[in-house]
Amino acid sequence: MQYPKIGIRPTIDGRWGGVRESLEEQTMKMAQAAADLISGSLKYPDGTAVQCVIADTTIGGGVEAARCAEKFAQEYVCATLTVTPCWCYGTETMDLNPHTIKAVWGFNGTERPGAVYLAAVMAAYAQKGLPAFSIYGHDVQDADNHEIPEDVAQKILRFARGAVSVGWMRDKSYVNIGGVSMGIMGSFCDMSFFQKYLGMRPEWVDMTEIVRRITLGIYDEDEYNKALTWVKAHCKEGYDCNAGKTLPEIVTKSKVVPAEKDWEFVVKMTLIVHDILFGNPKLADKGWHEEALGKNAVAGGFQGQRNWTDWLPNGDFMEAMLASTFNWNGAKAPTPFATENDTLNGVSMLLGTLVSGTAPCFHDVRTYWSPEACERVTGIKPEGSAAQGFIHLINSGATALDATGAAVDQNGTHCMKPFYEMTDADIEACTAATDWCRANYEYFRGGGFSSHFKTQAEMPVTLLRLNIVEGVGPVLQIAEGNTVVLPGDVHDTLDQRTDRTWPTTWFVPRLTGNGAFRDVYEVMANWGANHGVTVYGHVGAELITLASMLRIPVSMHNVPEDRIFRPHAWAAFGTADLESADMRACSAYGALYR
């Protein structure tokens, strides 16, 4: 696999005869330290350490800059980090490749004017229309101090994480299985957006392809048997809301797959959709060479409702297992995969997973519960984290099982983890915390199963959503906050007012007292769509950095100002109202892939 790499460019004062020679060692040590920091701290979505490429020599002028660019072009470098402890010749040493994302770390020391070069090259980048990130330590360092200060390290990693995310998406596919679900606008896949902002290729596969592969046996039988055995052992069935109901004939005659065959059907669906996305060489062994290739996907979605679910088992099991950090084979990388083929929520899942490394959890942003409404309905006034109200995140059984919060870290604290940290005990805990309820036949005539659980721990999470607004373009919304655990009787009363067969997460955003984060109600009122995604941790700052690289403005967030890291040129669009400045900057520069 060709991994997107970070290119490290050690720039130097080009004057030979004492100046350049005296700086060679210090400059190359800066480059090596930056590479070690990035590779030792960050991983690609498949768990491999992020790779860096260092220029063969320091760069004192245009010839060496060109040699560096030639090397980087052969190494699939998606972003460059220029490092220097000194003055350099700005326009002669800068990275002029319009296709790389750029940052410059200027050493804060008194011996040489690294800060002067940093300021000069930032001005050059701005004037040339090439936005670059400026990295400069808060405190002066001694020239022989090769440690990377914490504030510098944080900015380098935030830049590198965002840049690698951009590179990981580039030239991959988003696979639409089906089309538009129930008139949901996010299901209308905007090809231009994917191409211009993400560098991705949208592809479409009719849902009948799944039926074809089931009918003709285009899947790995050994894998199917293994998966079905695991399901029977670990996926316990829960509440059946259809029991005792007298259903109309239009519903009963639509259940063409017998209920006792639902598990077999949905397991085959899961294997087949994974093969459609990523390919499977074992299909070639069976003579299905085209199908073995897959679609080079990085994310996708499944329409389901209603052309599929009106007569066939729903996709909830498939969607939940694809998005989770494990399956019958143990720990595995999560796949951002959108319910109802909401492509904009699918992209939100992708962005959230890229910056957090954790499973993307698909939700309906369903209900705001004020303290007063909660007390009226349950007789109990919420306390603690939920005291100012909370939002009910729930969807039709397709949320990643990681959202149970059943996994624990080394201290025994409940959390969500990257897949490469998931243990067998974590996987067992997540499956034990989940039961699978038969789909409500009145809504899903074809049957199937929905994952059912409640998030059982208070955890830091970030809620996000990408929207497209006519006249503005794509915009991102971010709400850092926490999951909350309600008392059992309060949870049961509120949860059963909606579909009790679906998974529930109670969410409280961190409030700022201003704007959309004045209170919990305002967050709900300003949310741009019926869907959203949570990922583990407070990663709003990482999302803001990534969004600025893609030229997607962030229209709503509660990230503290001192954590926001955008290209230096953004300051030219205003420093008082940063959201407005972000809008203007993204509009001026336009999509990343024009």
Confidence of residue 296 (pLDDT cuts 50, 70, 90): very high
pLDDT at position 143: 67
Residue 392 CA, chain-centre distance (Å), reads 21
Q: What is the pLDDT of residues 14-71, one digit of tens each?
A: 889 988 888 899 999 999 999 999 999 999 999 999 999 999 999 999 999 999 999 9
CA 515 – CA 337 distance, rounded (Å):
32
Q: What is the pLDDT of residues 431-475, one digit of tens each?
A: 999 999 999 999 999 999 999 999 999 999 999 999 999 999 999
Q: What is the pLDDT of residues 114-166, one digit of tens each?
A: 788 999 999 999 999 999 999 998 877 766 777 899 999 999 999 999 999 99
Confidence of residue 101 (pLDDT cuts 50, 70, 90): very high
Percent of the residues in the chain that have a pLDDT greater than 90, as a whole number: 91
pLDDT at position 135: 95
Q: Is the pLDDT of residue 110 over 70?
A: no
Percent of the residues in the chain that have a pLDDT greater than 70, as a whole number: 99
Residue 198 structure tokens: 């993400």
Q: What is the pLDDT of residues 211-222, one digit of tens each?
A: 999 999 999 999
Helix (H) or strand (E) holding 402: none
Burial of 236 (0-12, 13-18, 19+ CB in 10 A): exposed
Bridge partners, 363 (sequence order): 532
pLDDT at position 111: 67
- Report the catalytic residues: 340, 364
Highest mean pLDDT range out of 13-17, 83-87, 201-205?
Answer: 201-205
Average pLDDT over residues 163-185: 96
Three-state SS letters, 494-548: HHCCCCCCCCEEEEEECCCCCHHHCCHHHHHHHCCCCEEEEEECCCHHHHHHHHH
- Mean pLDDT rounded to a whole number for the chain: 95
Own/partner contacts of 100-103, CB < 8 Å, gap of 24 or more, are: 100/7, 100/72, 101/159, 101/162, 101/163, 101/166, 101/549, 102/130, 102/131, 102/132, 102/133, 103/79, 103/132, 103/133, 103/134, 103/135, 103/155, 103/156, 103/159, 103/163
pLDDT at position 60: 95
Q: What is the pLDDT of residues 483-533, one digit of tens each?
A: 999 999 999 999 999 888 999 999 999 999 999 999 999 999 999 999 999
Confidence of residue 307 (pLDDT cuts 50, 70, 90): very high
Q: Dihedrals φ, ψ of 101, to 5°?
A: -85, 140
Residue 538 structure tokens: 């407070």
Extended strands (E) in 99-184: 101-106, 132-136, 173-177
CA 346 – CA 301 distance, rounded (Å):
7
Q: Which pTM was predicted?
A: 0.96
Q: Is the pLDDT of residue 539 over 80?
A: yes
Residue 564 CA, chain-centre distance (Å), reads 18
Bridge partners, 393 (sequence order): 365, 505
Confidence of residue 202 (pLDDT cuts 50, 70, 90): very high
CA 138 – CA 140 distance, rounded (Å):
7
Q: Residue 183: how many CB atoms within 10 A of its CB?
A: 7
**Cα–Cα–Cα angle for 519, 524, 528, nearest 5°?**
135
Q: Is the pLDDT of residue 108 over 80?
A: no
Confidence of residue 109 (pLDDT cuts 50, 70, 90): low
Residue 211 CA, chain-centre distance (Å), reads 30
Q: What is the pLDDT of residues 331-381, one digit of tens each?
A: 999 999 999 999 999 999 999 999 999 999 999 999 999 999 999 999 999
**Number of separate helices (H) and strands (E) present in the chain:** 20, 23
